[in-house]
């Protein structure tokens, strides 16, 4: 039989060390988030339905987004053992300049609608973590404002070609004058995708106070307090808009844009030129022959064509064909640092996150974006160590097996 005794006080003392409670509720809330999915849960709890769904949702049946995320979940890593990974380097050059990590903030629209810190939080935290921030044409701060907020940061500008070409080029000129060194042209938006959550929610700019939005806002008074007591929305590309999101997008997007328009922009722009929204091998090859500096394999976060190609699955073939001539970047579906490691191993030079950034923003403003970067980079370095690699240059396709659930029928 087990012999028992009374524990001595000296033995109990080490077990009775209680953690000092954190009185800062925001800090405690964010420290409880261990994954980006945790940040999403907090964001959903704190944000009214219409702006949260605008960020969280995608087009039509939302199949493209689900498949993109599933593609990363279907990665099988192939680790090496007995490697010295006491020191891990996560930095290298992207478009000719160093980044501390191969991940940056993707362009997002209506950002201050999610949380009042908006682009200020994204630009300042990207600068802190040594990675690029991309301001969207549909962003809610001006190009000049972002440069003032993060003068030491690496700030890019994303362009939609409007039907009004002169207005488009005014934005390009403003970006150049503000010191932006990289222009990202998005090419997968001839028309707006059918974002059904926004239609059902009646999402508009500015938000409309209906009985539904009032009832939804009652448990989230802090969001309305932030929205009503901070600066009115200021768009990167236009001063104001009264109408629905769909009407604004249809006003701005141009279904007549062609390769000739892209070549025209390239002649005007003296800095680095990146084309976002590439979804096929032939287009990748054509862009490489045009001499662009980078392409982003992206289906717009699943927000345009539903059932679009999965960017992560395109990586191997595109890198093999054009990787020596043009940098290949990727976005859509990234929800962990392991996803970033997998993309780099498959040949991507750089990755971007949009929803992950907005989940952090909605969860806790500037501190929430900081937490998002902390989670991503910690996951990335840990994954590299467990794979047995000490630098990004050591990552290679042999470290990743892309398991496929969907195969074309012969």
The model's pLDDT over 310-355, given as tens digits with 9 standing for 90+, comes to 999 999 999 999 999 999 999 999 999 999 999 999 999 999 999 9
C-beta neighbour count of 206 within 10 angstroms: 13
Q: What is the pLDDT of residue 58?
A: 95
Which residues have C-beta within 8 Å of that of residue 383, sequence separation ≥ 6? Answer: 77, 337, 338, 341
Q: What is the pLDDT of residue 254?
A: 84
| Beta bridge pairs of residue 186 | 276
Reported as a single tens digit per residue, the pLDDT across 375-404 is: 999 999 999 999 999 999 999 999 999 998
Write down the residue that tokens 């999965």 correspond to: 310
Residue 106 lies in a domain: yes
In whole angstroms, give the CA distance from residue 363 to residue 348: 29
| pLDDT at res. 191 | 85
131, 104 Cβ separation under 8 angstroms: yes
Give the H/E segment covering residue 221.
helix 221-229
Domain membership of residue 153 (yes or no) is yes
Rounded to whole angstroms, the Cα distance separating 384 from 387 reads 5
pLDDT band at residue 371 under the 50/70/90 scheme: very high
Q: Is residue 171 part of a domain?
A: yes
Alpha-helix residue ranges (DSSP H) falling in 233-351: 245-252, 259-268, 281-290, 311-322, 337-345
Range of the domain at 63: 38-74+90-381
Is residue 6 in a domain?
A: no
Pairing mode of beta strands 204-205, 243-244 = antiparallel
Q: What angle do CA 320, 326, 328 make, to 5 degrees?
A: 65
Please report whether residue 103 resides in a domain.
yes
Q: What is the pLDDT of residue 95?
A: 97
**Per the domain annotation, does 290 fall within a domain?**
yes
Task: Kindly state the percentage of the chain with pLDDT values over 70.
Answer: 92
**How many domains does the structure of the chain reveal?**
1
> Does the pLDDT of residue 65 top 80, yes or no?
yes
Q: Quick one: pLDDT at residue 130? A: 98
Please give the average per-residue pLDDT across 347-365, as a whole number: 98
Q: What is the pLDDT of residue 3?
A: 85
The share of the chain scoring above pLDDT 90, in percent, equals 69
Is it true that the peptide bond before 206 is cis, omega within 30 degrees of 0?
A: yes
Mean pLDDT estimate for the chain: 90
pLDDT of amino acid 47: 93
Contact 88, 395 (CB under 8 A): no
Residue with tokens 């996150």: 353
Residue 388 phi/psi, 5° resolution? Answer: 85, 30
Q: List pLDDT tens digits, range 193-219.
A: 888 998 888 776 555 556 666 677 677
Predicted local distance difference test score (pLDDT) of residue 22: 73
pLDDT tens by residue, 250-264 = 667 788 899 999 999
The Cα–Cα gap between 111 and 117 comes to 9
In this structure, is residue 365 part of a structural domain? yes
The C-alpha atoms of residue 310 and residue 127 are separated, in whole angstroms, by 30
Q: Tell me, what CATH number does 221's domain have? A: 3.20.20.70
Other Cβ atoms less than 10 A from the Cβ of 196: the count is 15
What is the per-residue pLDDT for 218? Answer: 72
> What is the DSSP track for 98-144?
EESSSEEEPP-SSHHHH-TTHHHHHHHHHHHHT--EEE-TT-SS-HH
Beta strands at 97-99 and 92-94: parallel, antiparallel or unpaired: antiparallel
Give the model confidence (pLDDT) of 225-241 as tens digits.
888 888 877 676 665 55
pLDDT on residue 354: 97
Count CB-CB contacts under 10 A for residue 149. 18
Each residue's pLDDT tens digit, 244-295: 555 666 667 788 899 999 999 999 899 999 999 999 999 999 999 999 999 9
Helices (H), strands (E): how many in the chain?
Answer: 18, 14
Q: Enumerate the active-site residues.
A: 300
pLDDT of residue 249: 67
> Does residue 388 fall inside a structural domain?
no
**For 113-143, what is each residue's pLDDT tens digit?**
899 999 999 999 999 999 999 999 989 999 9
Instruction: State pTM to two decimals.
Output: 0.92
User: What pLDDT does residue 247 have?
Assistant: 65
pLDDT at 168 over 90: no
């Amino acid at each position: 039989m087990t012999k028992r005794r009374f524990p001595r006080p000296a033995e109990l003392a080490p077990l009775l060390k209680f953690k000092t409670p954190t009185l800062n509720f925001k800090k405690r809330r964010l420290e409880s988030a261990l994954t980006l999915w945790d940040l999403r849960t907090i964001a959903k709890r704190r944000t009214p339905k219409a702006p949260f769904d605008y960020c969280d949702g995608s087009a039509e049946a939302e199949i493209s987004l689900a498949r993109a995320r599933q593609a990363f979940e279907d990665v099988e890593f192939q680790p090496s053992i007995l490697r010295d990974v006491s020191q891990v380097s996560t930095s290298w050059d992207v478009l000719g300049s160093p980044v501390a990590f191969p991940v940056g903030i993707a362009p997002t629209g209506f950002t201050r609608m999610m949380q009042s810190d908006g682009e200020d939080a994204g630009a300042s935290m990207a600068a802190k973590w040594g990675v690029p921030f991309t301001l969207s044409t549909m962003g809610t701060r001006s190009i000049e404002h972002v440069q003032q907020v993060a003068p030491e940061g690496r700030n890019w500008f994303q362009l939609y070609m409007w039907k009004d070409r002169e207005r488009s080029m005014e934005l390009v000129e403003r970006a150049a004058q503000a010191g932006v060194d990289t222009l990202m042209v998005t090419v997968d938006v001839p028309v707006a995708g059918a974002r059904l959550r926004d239609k059902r929610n009646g999402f508009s700019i500015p938000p409309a106070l209906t009985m539904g939005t009032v009832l939804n806002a009652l448990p989230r008074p802090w969001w309305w307090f932030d929205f009503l007591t901070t600066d009115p929305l200021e768009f990167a590309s236009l001063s104001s808009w009264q109408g629905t999101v769909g009407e604004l997008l249809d006003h701005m997007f141009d279904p007549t844009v062609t390769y000739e328009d892209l070549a025209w922009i390239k002649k005007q722009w003296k800095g680095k030129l990146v084309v976002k929204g590439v979804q096929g091998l032939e287009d990748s090859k054509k862009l490489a022959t045009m001499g662009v500096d980078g392409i982003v394999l992206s289906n717009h976060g699943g927000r345009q064509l539903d059932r679009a190609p999965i960017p992560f699955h395109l990586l191997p073939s595109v890198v093999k064909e054009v990787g020596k001539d043009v940098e290949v970047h990727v976005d859509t579906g990234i929800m962990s640092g392991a996803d970033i490691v997998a993309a780099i191993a498959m040949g991507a030079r750089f990755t971007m996150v949009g929803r992950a950034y907005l989940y952090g923003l909605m969860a806790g403003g500037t501190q929430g974006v900081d937490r998002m970067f902390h989670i991503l980079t910690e996951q990335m370095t840990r994954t590299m160590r467990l794979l047995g690699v000490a630098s990004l240059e050591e990552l290679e396709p042999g470290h990743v097996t892309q398991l496929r659930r969907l195969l074309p029928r012969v």
